[in-house]
Amino acid sequence: MMYFHFILLLITINNLNLMLQISAPKAKQIEKKLEIHNHKRIDNYYWLNEKENPEVIKYLNQENDFCNSIMGDTKELQDNLFDEMKGRIKQNDSSVPFKDNGYFYYNRFEEGKEYAFNCRKKENLESNEEVLFDQNKMAEGSSYFSLGGYSVSPNNKIVGFGVDIVSRRQYNLRFKNIETNELYAEIIPNTDGSCVWANDNKTVFYTLKDETLREYKIMRHILGNDISKDEVIYEEKDDTFYAHCYKSKSDKFIIIASTSTMSDEYRILSADKPEGECKVFAPRTRGIEYSIYHFENKFYIRTNWNAQNFKLMECPIDKTERENWKDVIAHREDVLIEGIELFKDFMVLEERRNGITDLRIINNKTKEDYKIDFEENVYHVGISVNREYETNTLRFYYTSMTTPTSTFDFDMINKLRILLKQQEVLGGFDKSNYKSERVFATASDGTKIPISLVYYKTTKLDGSAPLLEYGYGSYGISMDVGFSSEALSLLNRGFVYAIAHIRGGEDMGRAWYENGKLLKKKNTFTDFIECGNYLVKEKYTSKDRIFARGGSAGGLLMGAVANMAGTNYKGMIAVVPFVDVITTMLDESIPLTTGEYDEWGNPNDKIFYHYMLSYSPIDNVEKKEYPNILVMTGLHDSQVQYYEPAKWVAKLREYKTDKNLLLFNCNMDAGHGGSSGRFRRLHETALQYAFMFKLVGILK
**Residue partners of 652: CB distance under 8 A and separation at least 6:** 621, 626, 629, 662
* Domain that residue 577 falls in: 25-86+438-696
**Into how many domains does the chain fold?**
1
3-state helix/strand/coil string of 667-678: ECCCECCECCCC
pTM of this prediction? Answer: 0.91
Structural domain contains residue 356? no
In this structure, the strands spanning 571-575 and 628-634 are parallel
What distance in Å separates the CA atoms of residue 474 and residue 477, rounded to the nearest whole number? 6
- Nearest alpha-carbon partner for 48 in 673, 648, 652, 698: 648
Which of the following is catalytic: 153, 260, 489, 552?
A: 552
4 band by pLDDT with thresholds 50, 70 and 90: very low
8-44, pLDDT tens digit by residue? 333 333 433 443 457 899 999 999 999 999 999 999 9
**Residue partners of 180: CB distance under 8 A and separation at least 6:** none
Residue 228 phi/psi, 5° resolution? -65, -15
Over residues 404-429, mean pLDDT: 97
27 in Cβ contact with 60 (< 8 Å): no
pLDDT of amino acid 589? 81
Active site residue 192: no
524-574, pLDDT tens digit by residue? 999 999 999 999 999 999 999 999 999 999 999 999 999 999 999 999 999
282-333, pLDDT tens digit by residue? 999 999 999 999 999 999 999 999 999 999 999 999 999 999 999 999 999 9
Structural domain contains residue 426? no
Structural domain contains residue 163? no
671 band by pLDDT with thresholds 50, 70 and 90: low
pLDDT of amino acid 221? 98
- Nearest alpha-carbon partner for 222 in 258, 266, 186: 186
Which of the following is catalytic: 192, 527, 619, 637?
A: 637
Which of the following is catalytic: 244, 672, 675, 676?
A: 672
pLDDT of amino acid 213? 86
Share of the chain above pLDDT 70, in %: 96
What distance in Å separates the CA atoms of residue 474 and residue 476, rounded to the nearest whole number? 5
Cα distances from 106 to residues 95, 130, 162, 224, in angstroms, run 6, 10, 18, 28
Residues in the chain: 700
Sign for the pseudo-dihedral over CA of 86, 87, 89, 92: positive
* Residue 448: other Cβ atoms inside 10 A: 10
3-state helix/strand/coil string of 511-540: HHHHCCCHHHCHHHHHHHHHHHHHHHHCCC
- Beta bridge partner(s), residue 441: 449
638 band by pLDDT with thresholds 50, 70 and 90: confident
Residue 456 clears pLDDT 50, i.e. is over it: yes
Cα distances from 252 to residues 249, 345, 472, in angstroms, run 8, 18, 38
679 band by pLDDT with thresholds 50, 70 and 90: confident
674 band by pLDDT with thresholds 50, 70 and 90: low
Structural domain contains residue 48? yes
Average pLDDT across the chain, whole number? 94
pLDDT of amino acid 271? 98
Structural domain contains residue 159? no
Structural domain contains residue 37? yes
What distance in Å separates the CA atoms of residue 634 and residue 669, rounded to the nearest whole number? 7
- For residue 474, give the amino acid letter: S
pLDDT of amino acid 14? 40
Q: Return the H-helix or E-strand segment holding 264.
A: strand 264-270
457-511, pLDDT tens digit by residue? 999 999 999 999 999 999 999 999 999 999 999 999 999 999 999 999 999 999 9
Active site residue 552: yes
Domain at 617, CATH number: 3.40.50.1820
